Amino acid sequence: MPTRSFPADLVNRVRNLKLVDVLNALCTYCSQDRTYEPKKNPDSKVFIVEVNGKRFNNLLITGDRWFDLETKKGGGGAIDLVMYLRQISFVQAVKLLSLLEKKEAEEEEDDL
């Protein structure tokens, strides 16, 4: 039985989606903690998000990296973030993000 995999360009595209955009699109609640003062990188931001009834109170986002300050778990890219927040597999995360990417592309076309 042949193995099925996603095209590498699709995986790279969805992995590189902006994490803040992914949070805003896929979380039932998303708010930036405006009181957070970055210690190392001035571009770091902390978010409070809720996904499927589970709340994450200290999700640090710096560029394409994320870190949950409470659980001390982190990773890189949108695929890892979605897998963590939604507790889903790699395949499910790529499918979900590819739908999000498609929706965003359609909205951009509509704006033109």
- The band of 106, judged by pLDDT with boundaries at 50, 70 and 90, is confident
Under a CB-based contact definition with an 8 Å cutoff, are residues 82 and 97 in contact?
A: yes
What pTM, to 2 d.p., does this model score?
0.87
Return d(Cα 20, Cα 11) in angstroms, integer.
18
User: Cα–chain-centroid distance for residue 34?
Assistant: 19
Considering only CA atoms, which of 45, 79, 83, 78 is closest in space to residue 62?
A: 45
What tens digit of pLDDT does each residue of 59-97 get?
A: 999 999 999 999 999 999 999 999 999 999 999 999 999
Q: Which residue has the higher pLDDT, 111 or 97?
A: 97
pLDDT at 28 over 60: yes
